[in-house]
Chain A
Amino acid sequence: MTNPKSPAGQFTLLYFAAASSFTKRTSENFSAPVRAADLFQLLEGKYPGMGDKVLSSCAVTVNLEYIDLDGDDAADGDLMIKAGDEVAIIPPVSSG
């Protein structure tokens, strides 16, 4: 995986572990801005089934900072993902 700079008007989404296996990608660019709470819906639209199978248990970070998207009243639901941001989908890895 490389860390491509996102093109103008877009943000970069990084997929780790199960998210990477599901999408068969390690990163992808999306048009900004996107409300953080709408991110999962955007991905479910592009990758049907991803919501239940992967995203429901994932941590999400924006520019290397954890954001809280747990539940309908999530603390960071209204946060706007801007152009140039690096967002990561981090599923829990439990094996070892």
Chain B
Amino acid sequence: MALSLPIESTIKSLRYQIASCEAQLQDLRHQLADAENRAHWHTIPFESLSHDMIGGVPGDIQTEFLAVLSQNGERRRYAKAWPLEKHEYKRYGRQLIMPEVGLQGQLRLKTSSVLVVGVGGLGCPAAAYLAGAGVGKIGLVDGDTVEESNLHRQILHSTGRVGMTKVESATVSLTQLNPTGEYLAYSSRLTPDTAIEIFQSYDLILDCTDNPASRYLISDTCVLLGKPLVSASALRTEGQLMVLNSPPRPPGDILGGPCYRCIFPKPPPAESVVSCGDGGILGPVVGVMGVLQALEAIKIITRGIQHPDLICHIDIDKPRFQTNNEMPPNPPEPPSLLLFSAYSNPPFRSIRLRSRKSKCASCSAQAIVTREALTSGSLDYVQFCGIVSPVEALSVSERISVDNYARIRTGTNPITGTEARSDSHTLIDVREKVQFDLCNLEGSINIPFSVVSRTSVFVKGNSAKDVGEEEWVTKMRGLPEKKPIFVICRLGNDSQLAVGKMKELGLDCGGRRWVGDVKGGLKAWRDYVDPEFPEY
């Protein structure tokens, strides 16, 4: 509502324009630096350059350059004498001097392209470290805009860029961090019709998304196109990390790494999937997972992503690495699932995974996931993972609007016709206790939905005492019959299910007591009754 005010939209538009100009300015600075750098080299005669090379550069380093250059098929760079730009030696110096990276690793980073799907809590730190490390091209896919509630963990975005698309905002940040990279923004959600086309122009994919359907789609597309995949996820205090389809062999090749379907062949039931918005997330928890994704990506790229087949022929290359005093490339690691549980001891557990599953729907010889199936839409990922339709569990007579409920609290009760009194009814808030403690309506009683939903309904005939009725049920039974019970929650879904459960438990006294829910929950309360009620 507030955003539709003209002043708000002016602010939003100005912020957006400023950010765009900043990005443009950064780009111009980069172009200028590049041009100045080239002008400098043009002033030096080529003879003196090659003289320097012969006279001043040790033979083994020269050999290494030549080996690296010829390997990357970029002989034209030889004319510039140094394989990296001058500023790049400085910028990447701290990682360049590590044997795990070295010149060859840096050149591989520079010529590599990584697609980051999802620019949220995982994608932001992942993309930041990849851009910082000098990955040449980073693609960013996300259909969302920046919200204030993202900022505690989505470190590429900023307060000034709330309302801007996440991909635009991230591009501004990454350009400021490292203007040498190329950043491509895809400002819509990944879908089966777009996945193959987008993935095709990248060497490596990072799954930083937030839902099961995207995870299966991304994994399937990576298998079909032969791209390694670094997949991570996080919720509350826990995270998971896997390097999948690495090495990226064709479906049916048992030497290839397992895919997401090998590990999790069945999606979780849709109604059990919890988002960060509902379940919560600690910034550093998801941050750790995103940073680890960047680390795995760097390991894969510096090992030689462009030629995954060469990994098996390390021995052939060995003499060259020895003459250059360079460490032989690390062999690919066996597949593993890293579990992070921030409040556990130990916080990290690494699970050894199997190779590809012989009956995998995606990467085995019996694969049913094909390019045709993907592009034709016959693989319905949303259907596969299930849809949570809005809860419509109650009839009209079992529900009350927030406006009418407000009148019960402050005016005339539309149901009983009596004047409002604080003790005229019972209000049950079924949000979890921690949310209830954040903010609640005066006089409401907290019975968390998790407690309500796990309460068993006993068969008639068993007396409550015999089976040990839960305390909250006993307490509610004791409330006077004439007082209606209103149930409220955050959004108006759990409240309906709770009312259903209470009726099953006989808390409506066989219909003599009105038990119903407040439609739309506390969100509706804030939207239509009390704008001061906190939004979280």
Contacts and interface: CB of A to CB of B under 8 A. Distances in A.
Interface of A: 1-3, 16-18, 21, 26, 48, 52-54, 56-57, 59, 61, 64-66, 68, 70-71, 88, 90-96
18 contacts: A2-B344, A3-B345, A17-B238, A18-B274, A53-B269, A54-B272, A56-B269, A57-B268, A59-B337, A64-B351, A66-B337, A68-B357, A90-B339, A93-B239, A94-B211, A94-B233, A95-B211, A96-B118
B341 A1 contact: yes
Interface stretch (B34-42, B258-266, B363-371): B258-266
Contacts of B122: 96
Given A59-B263, A92-B267, A93-B239, A66 B273 contact: no
B354 interface: yes
Interface stretch (B86-94, B275-283, B478-486): B275-283
A18 B274 CA distance: 9
A64 B352 contact: yes
B222 interface: no
A57 B286 CA distance: 22
Nearest to A91: B268
A95 B123 CA distance: 12
Contacts of B337: 59, 66, 90
Interface of B: 118, 120-123, 208-212, 215, 232-236, 238-240, 263-269, 272-276, 279, 281, 286, 289, 337, 339, 341, 343-346, 349-354, 357, 359, 456
Q: Which of A53, A57, A61, A94: most chain B Cβ within 10 A? A: A94
B345 A53 contact: no
Given A17-B235, A64-B350, A94 B339 contact: no
A68 B353 CA distance: 10
Contact of B266 (A26, A48, A57, A96): A57
A88 B349 CA distance: 10
Contact of A52 (B123, B269, B344): B269
Given A17-B236, A95-B274, 17 more contacts: A3-B346, A21-B274, A53-B269, A57-B269, A66-B352, A70-B266, A90-B337, A90-B339, A90-B351, A92-B263, A92-B267, A93-B239, A93-B240, A94-B233, A95-B281, A96-B123, A96-B233
A80 B279 CA distance: 35
The 9 tightest CB contacts between A and B, nearest first, are A1-B344, A57-B268, A96-B122, A93-B233, A92-B264, A94-B212, A95-B210, A57-B266, A96-B233
B234 A93 contact: yes
Nearest to A65: B352
A93 B263 contact: no
B363 to A, nearest CB: 14
A95 B349 contact: no
B267 A26 contact: no
B235 to A, nearest CB: 5
Contacts of B343: 1
A61 B269 CA distance: 21
Contacts of B210: 94-96
A66 B235 CA distance: 22
A52 B386 CA distance: 14
A27 to B, nearest CB: 9
A72 B345 CA distance: 34
A52 B267 CA distance: 11
A66 B210 CA distance: 24
B456 to A, nearest CB: 8
Contacts of B345: 1-3
A59 B264 contact: yes
Nearest to B352: A65
Contacts of B272: 18, 53-54
Contacts of A70: 265-266, 357
A61 B239 CA distance: 16
A66 B238 contact: no
Given A57-B268, A91-B268, A96-B118, A66 B239 contact: no
Contacts of A2: 344-345
Contacts of B215: 92, 94
B289 A96 contact: yes
B268 A94 contact: yes
Contacts of B120: 96
Nearest to B290: A96
A33 to B, nearest CB: 22
Nearest to A96: B122
A90 B344 CA distance: 15
Contacts of B268: 18, 54, 56-57, 91-92, 94
Contacts of A1: 341, 343-345
Given A3-B346, A64-B352, A96 B264 contact: no
Contacts of A71: 359
B57 to A, nearest CB: 47
